[in-house]
Homo-oligomer: A and B are copies of this chain.
Amino acid sequence: MSSPDVIAAVMGFKSKSAPVALVSPRPSISPPQCGACLFKAHCLPADLEGDLLADFERSVTRQRYPLKSGHVLVRQGDSMDALYALRVGSLKVFIDEPDGTERILGFRFPGTVIGLAEPERGEWTRTFVALENTWLCRIPIHAIGDPARRQLIRLMSDQLRREYNSHLTLAFNSGAKKVVSFLIDMSSSFEARGLSANRFHLPMNYIDIANYLGMRHESVSRALSKLQELGLLNKRGRYIDIPDLQALRGFKND
């Protein structure tokens, strides 16, 4: 694949009429999803020729992934020479403490580039682990030419804004509201990928959610139970059904 436009090709092409699933599938029965539709939310104004799109498809199928659920993509301390575009599945990002504890910094879903916060050459500063079987596309650093830079800057500034949002969530909410913020984020993320914003299956367990939100998993459970009592959602394990998204937003902002 011609090098400078790899990122643009991976993250910025326009999707045509891609099939759209209404509910996110269970990990175990997850059908291979169409690459094109997964990046729909990230259709950026990169002008791509038809052959670049073809290149993209070829590049994707050429990868030797999927990465199996629970497996490590990169471990903190590994030397870094590539970015990764996430196509299907999900990852958790965390700091590995010396004592083996994880401190989860976030979750990643299709349409994301992995490694934007890493020094350009050097070591990965975080560990990325698959939450389910996950398809990725490797983008060697040397393949990032000038035409791809503009795209990269855009992705990074998006990522920065998301981080600011998570700061807001953590600093200005407590308990149930943090959980609600998290759910709304998840909902938007699913919606952006053409899935249902109201009904979805969380790929991570309550322990990871709690870790991410700076809570205990018991508190997450209690918060979700309380929200169910209030009629703001229905849950069965990791299946979440939000009858009225606007009402949920109301709860967060009140």
Contacts and interface: CB of A to CB of B under 8 A. Distances in A.
Interface of A: 95, 103, 105-106, 116-120, 125-126, 146, 149-150, 152-154, 156-157, 159-161, 163-164, 166-168, 170-172, 211-214
A211 B149 CA distance: 35
A103 B163 contact: no
A192 B125 CA distance: 20
B117 A164 contact: yes
6 contacts: A105-B168, A106-B167, A156-B157, A170-B214, A171-B211, A171-B213
A159 B156 CA distance: 10
B119 A172 contact: no
A168 B95 contact: yes
Contacts of A168: 95, 103, 105
Contacts of A170: 167, 170-171, 214
Contacts of A103: 168, 171-172
A150 to B, nearest CB: 7
A81 to B, nearest CB: 15
Given A105-B167, A156-B156, 5 more contacts: A105-B168, A116-B157, A120-B153, A163-B163, A172-B214
Contact of A118 (B105, B116, B157, B212): B157
Contact of A161 (B125, B153, B157): B125
Contacts of A211: 171
Contacts of A116: 156-157, 160
Nearest to A170: B170
B105 A157 contact: no
A206 to B, nearest CB: 15
A119 B161 CA distance: 9
B157 A119 contact: yes
Contacts of A167: 105-106, 163, 166-167, 170
Nearest to A146: B146
Max chain B C-beta neighbours (<10 A), residue from A117, A152, A159:
A117
A116 B125 CA distance: 21
